[in-house]
A and B are shown apart, each in its own frame.
Chain A
Amino acid sequence: MSGIGSALLNSLDIGLLLFIIAVGLNIVFGVLNIINFAHGALYMLGAYLAFTLINIVGMPFWAALLLAPLGVAILAVLIDRFLLRHIYSRDIADSLLLTFALLLIINESVRMIWGSGIQVVQPPQLLAGSMDIMGSSIPTYSLFVIVMGLALLAGLWFLFNRTRIGRIMRAAALDRDMAEVLCINTRLVVTGVFAFGAWLAAVGGVIAAPMRALDPGMGDKIIIESFIVVVIGGLGSFPGALLGAIILGLIHGVGGRYFPEVNMLLPFLGMALVLLFKPNGIMGKGAAA
């Protein structure tokens, strides 16, 4: 395959991993109206839980993919019940402060539990190594990331557009009081959505674990990227998260390959342009968003 072909595939695997993480951030914002600063920390927890299950307990990767996100979702339920619950009705700045505190707590806990060393997780046998696609060596795991990203994309679309739960979530996002009048248990919806967002972050973490080195700062790196995705695509918008993630994937993958001198600048330039001309993001709606 030509250089551009493999650069595009590389962009796609960077972009779709970012999508899995950023879409969780966006769903939580859309329904709960909080910007979850700790989202990256939950991603990191997913990766470290996978590391424990695979490297220490000795489980197969697939079991970790199932269990680690579940564990993080349970933690998210506790966070919601004991902490976030008290600030939903307050100004958005309060939730920023609280989730920032959570990020610091989770970061330090990870460092205390797993240590500060660099850890790696091996991909499952099935996905190890590379495939030769038209003369270029493409890591099999990259293809898996792309398939997982597309599967989650399809699943989320189906959830929001074709299921009752999805409709309830959208209703709660649009008007929580009205939803309550219609006998929807919005407290349950809120908890469920927060846990679902955390689950998505952790799925991203488990998927990232075999391709990215684990260290106690990995959450901070991804949260900045996710914020860029969300600003470019549109805060709270589902298609926006996809568009923003693909754009950032292209900036890294194709930009890094062909314009390395300005590669560092491009994400921020993109963000600045979007803020100038479409302040709510490319897919963002009205000023209220």
Chain B
Amino acid sequence: MMKTRAKKILVALSAAAAMGAVSTSYAEEPIRIGGIYILSGSAATYGEFAKKGINLAVDEINASGGILGRQVEMVYEDSQGKASVAIQAARKLVYSEDVDALVGLDSSGVAQGMVPTMPELQKPLIITHAATPDVTGKLCNAFTYRISVNVAQNMRAAALVAEKLDATNWTTIGPDYAFGHQSWEFFGNYLEELEPDVNLMSETNFPRFGAEDFTPFIDRVMDSDADGVLISVWGGDLVNFVRQANNRGFFEKDLELLFTVGGATEVLSALGDEMPESVHLSTRYWFDGYDNDINARFVKAYVDAYDGPPSYNAEGAYAAIYAYKKAMETVGTADGLAVAKALSGMSIEAPNGTVTFRKGDHQAMVGPNWGISGPMHPEYGIRTLTDLQIFNGEDVARSIEETGCKL
């Protein structure tokens, strides 16, 4: 009799212990964040940079107690730069990997395809790189945010830079997809507003993305009347472009050149001193441009871990993880809908200053960085940016009506 009772008690105790264990382990279940980046092929370096930024943020957060007392865990998927692959990846991350939130996207084309599927997943997405205005414009939705500069903001800044230059006949060389075409369209519209008598040439140049040989397009611009050129070629293409342009004597011509993604550190390190001096280079974040504690800590941690200055893509991804930390801690849960709501209008302190997700379109009010290529950096083997201008994110953003976003 006693024996059975003792046994029952033991069973009850161990059951309680087990339940306790279950509930504790439930509380300690990590917060899972899914990252969708280009991790293979030509542009894999962008996914790599995002991962580096994210790793720093996750390590820092986990070392100081995690989010809501839970550790943070990343799960990555390769978008391969294709919208269909990214949509599959997002579904897999949400439905099979049980992630609480998503970060990612390196390409405008991918973002335009994937963003409309976000409401169906009921998880928040913070875009850290893709720049098409549409995803915080006509395609906007309650779950999609962007922490990085978009094409409209950057082209507004580009037009403000161009306004002060002598050029009157403007043309463009850009990749033949959404990014290249939208860059030219927004730049042209803003510049025309500022300088009504500017000539936007009909002779534009849109080489295939990944074209390898840009010489025909370089020659075409050199033979034309253009005296100002907006160059939105990026990544490995930009490296090829600059080297081929050097060969053709393109930089010796009297042209005003605006490189819309020319200040990307990965491009500058590949080119070294082959990137000419005194051309206008833009980037979404220049590591040397922000004098605040968070930036100092971020740059130091990055340089210590990876030898070399952080690219804009690393910074955006790093800040996105902190945005989730703040949103989840504000609402006290990792629930998708609640976190998505919390992000709206929220501000965080990031390496590039105070970043606010605007309520009306979920675009972060971050400012593009424009500078002029200067002498080589003594440590990193890249061109420095002189006369750096950091635009006010608010000033260069479209109004909510202009975005076409209805939330």
Which residue of the partner chain B has the closest CB to A142? Answer: B247
Question: Shortest beta-carbon distance, B373 to chain A, in Å?
Answer: 17
Question: Shortest beta-carbon distance, B80 to chain A, in Å?
Answer: 10
Which residue of the partner chain A has the closest CB to B247? Answer: A139
Which residue of the partner chain B has the closest CB to A256? Answer: B216
Asked if B44 CB lies within 8 Å of chain A CBs, one says yes
Contacts A211-B243, A257-B216 given; indicate if A218 touches B42 (C-beta within 8 A). yes
Q: How far is the CA of A213 from the CA of B219 in the complex (A)?
A: 20
Asked if B30 CB lies within 8 Å of chain A CBs, one says no
A selection of 7 A-B contacts at a CB cut-off of 8 Å is A115-B45, A115-B48, A117-B48, A215-B236, A220-B42, A256-B220, A260-B205
Proximity bits, A270-281, B CB within 8 Å = 1, else 0 = 000000000000
CB–CB A118/B243 < 8 A: no
Question: Shortest beta-carbon distance, A222 to chain B, in Å?
Answer: 8
CB–CB B215/A253 < 8 A: yes
Collect the chain A residues with CB atoms within 8 Å of residue B44's CB: 111, 116, 215-217
B-contacting residues, A3-17, CB 8 Å: 3, 6-7, 10, 14
Question: Shortest beta-carbon distance, B61 to chain A, in Å?
Answer: 25
Asked if B213 CB lies within 8 Å of chain A CBs, one says yes
Asked if B380 CB lies within 8 Å of chain A CBs, one says no
Collect the chain A residues with CB atoms within 8 Å of residue B34's CB: none
Question: Shortest beta-carbon distance, B234 to chain A, in Å?
Answer: 11
Q: How far is the CA of A78 from the CA of B215 in the complex (A)?
A: 39
Asked if B405 CB lies within 8 Å of chain A CBs, one says no
Greatest chain A CB density within 10 A among B210, B216, B244 is at B216
Q: How far is the CA of A110 from the CA of B223 in the complex (A)?
A: 39
Collect the chain A residues with CB atoms within 8 Å of residue B59's CB: none
A-contacting residues, B244-273, CB 8 Å: 244, 247-249, 266-267, 269-271
Tell me the A residues contacting B by CB distance below 8 Å. Answer: 3, 6-7, 10, 14, 107-108, 111, 115-120, 129-130, 137, 139, 141-142, 211-213, 215-218, 220-221, 252-257, 260, 263-264
B interface residues, how many (CB within 8 angstroms): 41
CB–CB A260/B220 < 8 A: yes
Q: How far is the CA of A6 from the CA of B235 in the complex (A)?
A: 27
CB–CB B235/A130 < 8 A: no
Asked if B208 CB lies within 8 Å of chain A CBs, one says yes
Question: What 8 pairs between A and B have smallest CB-CB spacing?
Answer: A217-B42, A256-B216, A116-B44, A217-B41, A139-B247, A257-B216, A213-B239, A118-B270
Contacts A117-B270, A118-B266, A120-B243 given; indicate if A216 touches B207 (C-beta within 8 A). no
Collect the chain B residues with CB atoms within 8 Å of residue A10's CB: 213, 215-216, 219
Proximity bits, B27-39, A CB within 8 Å = 1, else 0 = 0000000000001
Collect the chain A residues with CB atoms within 8 Å of residue B223's CB: 3
How many A-B contacts at CB < 8 Å in the complex? 117
Question: Shortest beta-carbon distance, A46 to chain B, in Å?
Answer: 16
Collect the chain A residues with CB atoms within 8 Å of residue B235's CB: 118
Other contacts beyond A142-B247, A216-B44, A256-B207: 13, CB < 8 A: A116-B44, A118-B236, A118-B266, A130-B247, A212-B213, A215-B43, A217-B41, A217-B44, A252-B216, A254-B216, A256-B216, A257-B219, A260-B220
CB–CB A120/B208 < 8 A: no
Collect the chain A residues with CB atoms within 8 Å of residue B215's CB: 10, 253, 256
CB–CB B248/A130 < 8 A: yes
A213 CB contact (under 8 Å) in B176, B204, B208, B236: B236
Asked if B225 CB lies within 8 Å of chain A CBs, one says no
Question: Shortest beta-carbon distance, A64 to chain B, in Å?
Answer: 18
Q: How far is the CA of A192 from the CA of B226 in the complex (A)?
A: 53
Collect the chain A residues with CB atoms within 8 Å of residue B40's CB: 107-108, 111, 216-217
A6 CB contact (under 8 Å) in B47, B205, B210, B219: B219
CB–CB A116/B48 < 8 A: yes
CB–CB B206/A260 < 8 A: yes
Contacts A137-B248, A260-B206 given; indicate if A7 touches B270 (C-beta within 8 A). no
A-contacting residues, B176-234, CB 8 Å: 176, 204-208, 210-213, 215-217, 219-220, 223
Q: How far is the CA of A117 from the CA of B204 in the complex (A)?
A: 30
Asked if B240 CB lies within 8 Å of chain A CBs, one says yes
Q: How far is the CA of A218 from the CA of B40 in the complex (A)?
A: 11
Q: How far is the CA of A116 from the CA of B271 in the complex (A)?
A: 16
Q: How far is the CA of A264 from the CA of B47 in the complex (A)?
A: 27
Q: How far is the CA of A213 from the CA of B48 in the complex (A)?
A: 18
Collect the chain B residues with CB atoms within 8 Å of residue A117's CB: 45, 48, 266, 269-270
CB–CB B213/A216 < 8 A: no
Question: Shortest beta-carbon distance, A123 to chain B, in Å?
Answer: 10
Which residue of the partner chain A has the closest CB to B248? Answer: A137
A-contacting residues, B336-365, CB 8 Å: none
Collect the chain B residues with CB atoms within 8 Å of residue A264's CB: 176, 208
CB–CB A213/B270 < 8 A: yes
Q: How far is the CA of A108 from the CA of B78 in the complex (A)?
A: 13
Collect the chain B residues with CB atoms within 8 Å of residue A260's CB: 204-207, 216-217, 220
CB–CB B216/A7 < 8 A: yes
A-contacting residues, B41-57, CB 8 Å: 41-45, 47-48
Q: How far is the CA of A107 from the CA of B80 in the complex (A)?
A: 13
A14 CB contact (under 8 Å) in B213, B217, B236: B213
Q: How far is the CA of A129 from the CA of B267 in the complex (A)?
A: 21
Collect the chain B residues with CB atoms within 8 Å of residue A130's CB: 247-249
Contacts A116-B48, A117-B48 given; indicate if A253 touches B42 (C-beta within 8 A). no
A-contacting residues, B273-313, CB 8 Å: 274
Collect the chain B residues with CB atoms within 8 Å of residue A255's CB: 216
